Structure 1
Amino acid sequence: MYDRALKTIRQYHRLSQSDLAEQINISRSYLNEIERNKKEPSLEVLKRYAERFEVPLSSLMLFAEQGAGTTFNKARVFVADKVLKMLEWVAEGENDEQEKASKTTVHTD
């Protein structure tokens, strides 16, 4: 679930993969693989995300999926999914507002 969470955070802040990769000192291809769920981010990379976006590392750790099958992990996955849906909704709403604002131009003569 890291893939979806980290991608959503990046998109919310309107950063390209290249820009974020440079800011957290990883390759763009590695960032792309994380966002496509091809690779798991290391703890060091998660720390860099946390520092860059000024969020507690523990907040990012919410999205870890380990030992699936236990009640606790099912609950964590459920909560993480709900949090992501909320973040995606907020990001989408802000993008819609920016598009509307950019289409509405004020002409002064």
Structure 2
Amino acid sequence: MGDRNAMLGEALRLIRVFHDRKQVDLAEELGISQSHLSDIERGAKTPSQDLVAKYAEVFDLPVSSIWFFDEQLSSGTTPKAIDRARGVIADKVLDFLRIIERRQEKS
């Protein structure tokens, strides 16, 4: 994942995995195709605001906690240091979720 949506897509994937949900089942619940969800999780497509809201509802999360991982979030008025800090924090949260994912796979 090297493009602009990579961090958000990875966050959505890890949230799904953390909740032990299959991609096909979640896609059906969200009202989208599995291939579309796969594209979002890989960072190939950007989810709509409505889709992120549905995702937040399914997993009982604040919408803002999901948008936190959007690399395009910067408004241009946010100081660069804050943008960098947000990126570092988001990376650390994703690293933590990946550790949990690996532990779940082992058990």
TM-score by length of 2: 0.81
Structure 1, unmatched stretches of 5+, are 98-109
Larger relative contact order, structure 1 or 2 (CA cutoff 8 Å, min sep 6): 2
How do residues 26-45 of structure 1 correspond to structure 2 at under 5 angstroms?
Answer: 26-45=32-51
Q: What's the offset of the Cα at 1:94?
A: 3.1
The corresponding residue for 1:5 is 11
Larger Rg: 1
Cα-Cα RMSD? 1.7
The AA in structure 2 aligned to 1:82 is: K
Give the paired residue count: 97
The question of 1:90 aligning with 2:100 is answered yes
| TM-score normalised by the chain length of structure 1 | 0.80
Runs of 4+ in 1 over 4 A off after TM superposition: none
Q: Which residue is equivalent to 2:86?
A: 76
Supply the AA of the counterpart residue of 2:21: L
What runs of 5+ residues in structure 2 fail to find an aligned partner?
Answer: 1-6
